Chain A
């Protein structure tokens, strides 16, 4: 790596079979290039090392604004590729020094890339999330006990017991709802991948995140999948959210490539 102010490195976006659209721009606003080898096309952009190379990129990743902008720009390029044909998205921050090493990669793993593209052809990723009740909601809605027949102390204990029973009922109902939903989605998709429920993501939206799934769906069967998302009225206090269409980020795992 050189320290020259105008030095660039290669940012990789996607592996596909079709060359990029001239109008699409990359994470640095740069025009995209096609690096071709073995019938495959890598979407690549020349980005300034001063911002995207080491060590700058490591520092920049600490900034949510920078990360958000780069993620959206990367995503826009991948989406542009998806509209032209089957596409393997490449993980954010995949950098190369020169075209030769990208070509070597495409050539050495051509058959693996091809089979992955075949698996993704005509299919789209959709996200399905289920949120539980917001914290405290269950308690507030606990059934009233009969105040006239009990002392204040007994009444309090009865209310607490009723609230606990109600909470347990809700947890059981929610678990069963998610199980039924996943079974329906499995019947109308070719693969499922569960994203994390913990940490920051779980608190988004104020309710507990009960399901955060990604589904690879045949485009021709999307209507049935969509029906399956909304088919169950069994749990009124849960919210279901369908997100997408997504490029197949969650299904881009290619056996044998992770060690390249």
Chain B
């Protein structure tokens, strides 16, 4: 069963906005509500729009199980490597050794007074959020892909 043209066009129109908003939630995780898990779930919703509206054989040309599996593995590996880099460079596991260091990568110092900071002041927290976002995106997408691949439909 394939959905109607209205559903397919709407899904095609909306999924880039879903992915962009999810990435926004992930990258602003240390400043605003949300974070890795919530942003990854929003990004996976964009993939779910595409998956629901089309045939499995149609969609696997663009979204593959291997790529999503790779996303999941890369997110987990990135989180572990960041934690261990805190152990090596800072002294304890997940130590935020980048914060306030003046490094170009999320290391800007925060001014005095009640200052919530900017995008670049978080240290490793933004990178950890990004790792969790990639992990959740891959994991939830692969759940949907396996769910869809179990259907016995006539191929187009």
Bound pair (A, B) = no
Residues of chain B touching chain A, judged by Cβ–Cβ distance below 8 Å, are none
Residues of chain A touching chain B, judged by Cβ–Cβ distance below 8 Å, are none
